[in-house]
Amino acid sequence: MRLEEEHEAFRGVLEEAGVEVVVAATPHALDPDAIYAYDPALVADDGALLLRPGKEGRRGEVEVMGADLVEAGVPVAARIEAPGTVEGGDTVWLDESTLLIGRGYRTNEEGIRQLAEALPDVAVIPFDLPHWHGAGEVMHLLSLLSPLDRDLVVAYPRLMPVRLMELLEERGVEIVEVPDEEFETMGPNVLALGPRDALALEGNDETRRRMERAGVHVRTYRGDEISRKGDGGPTCLTRPILRT
């Protein structure tokens, strides 16, 4: 099956880069979205925060992910309760003490409030996401930007919230701009494996060249089945539990 082959090859690229890959093994009902492991949980210093997806059909993934995290040695520190909703794709760690979060159709005000309460030592900074194509199409904060280093992100500025653009400028964070023609092919969704060491979906050649000109080592993977059909890039396909 091509999907399985692509996912195995994707894991192989991570392992070649020195990443320890932990495969979730807890049984779960048929759910194609479950391949996108970034959304059901967020990992912080004290452990995992189990989230509550805005997409109702994905809520069964949360407890399954929680069991896999505990099995991997990551304790559950908190969880988002109804009526709050938060999806991992709306959360971006800018640094160890700053969490950016997108307010959109999948993450609501109550979810953001609970997340901030669970992270008292972290500045949780919310931003309104654009309507774009509406509630029926996923628009996460990670659809707009991905960190590449402490002072560098790859992003699509034309849809970025003004306050977020201002924050990046205030923090001295430079932007590798994604061209218009590569936004909808997930050009901004790039997984940082280390400072200026990135994994990107193949095909976004101009975005790759721009990252390389900024000093980023870019690896690519084939994702016709695992990424393009579900609009989930390399970040979506992973849930980092420890970065050194």
Number of structural domains in the chain: 1
Residue 40: which domain range?
A: 2-228
Is there a domain that residue 42 lies in?
yes
Is there a domain that residue 171 lies in?
yes
pLDDT in tens, 92-102: 999 999 999 99
pLDDT in tens, 121-170: 999 999 999 998 888 788 999 999 999 999 999 999 999 999 999 999 99
How far apart are alpha carbons 17 and 11 in whole angstroms?
10
Buried/exposed 140-158: b ≥16 CB within 10 Å, e otherwise:
bbbbbbbbbbeebbbbbee
For residues 67-74, average pLDDT: 95
Is there a domain that residue 69 lies in?
yes
Q: Could you report how far apart the first and last alpha carbons of the chain are, in Å?
A: 34
pLDDT in tens, 14-58: 999 999 999 988 888 878 889 999 999 999 999 999 999 999 999
Asked whether residue 85 carries a pLDDT value surpassing 90, the answer given is yes
Is there a domain that residue 117 lies in?
yes
Is there a domain that residue 234 lies in?
no
Is there a domain that residue 209 lies in?
yes
Look-up of token digits 């991905």: 146
CATH of the domain at 85: 3.75.10.10
pLDDT at position 25 is 85
Asked whether residue 244 carries a pLDDT value surpassing 80, the answer given is no
Q: Reduced to 3 states, what is the DSSP secondary structure of residue 183? A: coil
